[in-house]
């Protein structure tokens, strides 16, 4: 009985499209079919694009600049996913949330686009809020 109870989670994982791959150690990974479905999904494509860009981002050791650049990439990912929801979603509440994300993060992305060049050229980053009053209101 105990042995059959231990097998149940593995059966469930198999039903979800996971397979055991013992050729490279023993771990669970999605099956080829599950991977293909994820790659074809526009939300996953937007997420994967964002994550790839964030992981490729070179940190400069300037927290303000690094944060602004990472946040800009993150906002673009949110915008891309929200656009998919607005175009393809069925639920009115979710579509409304997605539109609010588009509205707010488009503005924030524009602020970051203005701020990043300033951060890149300003070694001390001490007077940025004075130059961009809109950021002080947040």
Task: Please write the tens of the pLDDT for every residue from 22-56.
Answer: 455 545 666 666 656 666 799 999 999 999 999 99
Confidence grade of residue 111 (pLDDT, cut at 50, 70, 90): very high
Confidence grade of residue 121 (pLDDT, cut at 50, 70, 90): confident
Confidence grade of residue 87 (pLDDT, cut at 50, 70, 90): very high
- CB-CB contact of 57 with 69 (8 Å): yes
Per-residue pLDDT at 8: 59
What one-character-per-residue DSSP string does 50-85 give? HHHHHHHPPP-S-HHHHHHHHHHHHHHHHHHHHHHH
From the list 106, 101, 63, 55, the residue with the least C-alpha distance to 82 is 101
Of 19-33, 85-99, 119-133, highest mean pLDDT: 85-99
Paired strand residues for 27? 21
């Amino acid at each position: 009985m105990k042995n059959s109870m231990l097998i149940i989670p593995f059966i469930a994982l198999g039903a979800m499209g996971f397979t055991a791959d013992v050729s490279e150690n023993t771990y669970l990974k999605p099956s080829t079919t599950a991977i293909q479905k994820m790659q074809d999904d526009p939300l996953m494509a937007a997420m994967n694009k964002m994550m790839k860009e964030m992981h490729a981002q070179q940190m400069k050791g300037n927290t303000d600049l690094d944060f602004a650049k990472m946040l800009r990439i993150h906002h673009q990912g949110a915008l891309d996913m929200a656009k998919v929801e607005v175009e393809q979603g069925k639920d009115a509440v979710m579509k409304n949330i997605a539109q609010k994300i588009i509205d707010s993060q488009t503005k924030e992305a524009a602020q970051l686009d203005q701020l990043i060049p300033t951060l890149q050229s300003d070694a001390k980053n001490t007077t940025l809020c004075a130059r961009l009053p809109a950021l002080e209101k947040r």
